[in-house]
């Protein structure tokens, strides 16, 4: 389970995200859709702390990601970038699984 609790991310005087709460259950296939600039990447990058919220908290199961070891967190997170750094001979699933396969 991944939960966002009252997450806000500000850049200067603008909020990319404001008071967002959302829970994605284990095993759920979840698709986040929105126009360019609506904050999708900002939200995604909070899961493995590539971006930290200005306020609010992000949980994986019962663990607040802010209080777990960041290297361990990222080793256990499959993350496929929007452009570049993809293996073009592999499917989306295979690309997303590279890190998890390495962990066995």
Ligand X SMILES: Nc1ncnc2c1ncn2[C@@H]1O[C@H](COP(=O)(O)OP(=O)(O)OP(=O)(O)O)[C@@H](O)[C@H]1O
Using the structure block, give the residue that is written with the tokens 């306020």.
Answer: 55
DSSP result, 24-87:
E-TT--------TTSSHHHHHHHHTTSS--SEEEEEETTEEGGGS-HHHHHHT-----SSSS--
Q: Which of residues 34-63 bind ligand X (CB under 6 A)?
A: 34, 36-42
Contacts of 47 (CB under 8 A, 6+ apart): 2, 58, 60, 65, 77
User: Minimal distance in Å, beta carbon 83 to ligand X?
Assistant: 10
Q: Please, what is the minimum distance in Å from the beta carbon of residue 103 to ligand X?
A: 27
The continuous run of DSSP H or E covering 102 comes out as helix 92-102
Which stretch, 7-15, 16-24, 41-49, 61-69, contacts Mg ion (CB under 5 A)? Answer: 41-49
Binding part of the chain for Mg ion, among 12-20, 27-35, 40-48, 72-80 by CB under 5 A, reads 40-48
Q: Compute the least distance from the CB of residue 89 to ligand X, in Å.
A: 24
Q: 17 vs 75, which CB is nearer to ligand X?
A: 17
Q: Give the binding site for ligand X (CB under 6 A).
A: 11, 16, 34, 36-42
Q: Give the binding site for Mg ion (CB under 5 A).
A: 40-41
């Amino acid at each position: 389970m991944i939960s966002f609790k009252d997450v806000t991310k500000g850049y200067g005087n603008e909020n990319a995200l404001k008071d967002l709460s959302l829970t994605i259950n284990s095993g759920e296939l979840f698709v986040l859709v929105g126009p360019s600039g609506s904050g999708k990447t900002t939200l995604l990058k909070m899961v493995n702390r590539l971006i930290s919220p200005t306020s609010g908290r992000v949980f994986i199961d019962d663990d607040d990601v802010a209080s777990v070891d960041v290297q361990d967190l990222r080793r256990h997170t499959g993350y496929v970038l929007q452009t570049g750094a993809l293996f073009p001979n592999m499917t989306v699933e295979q690309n997303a699984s590279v890190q998890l396969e390495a962990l066995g």
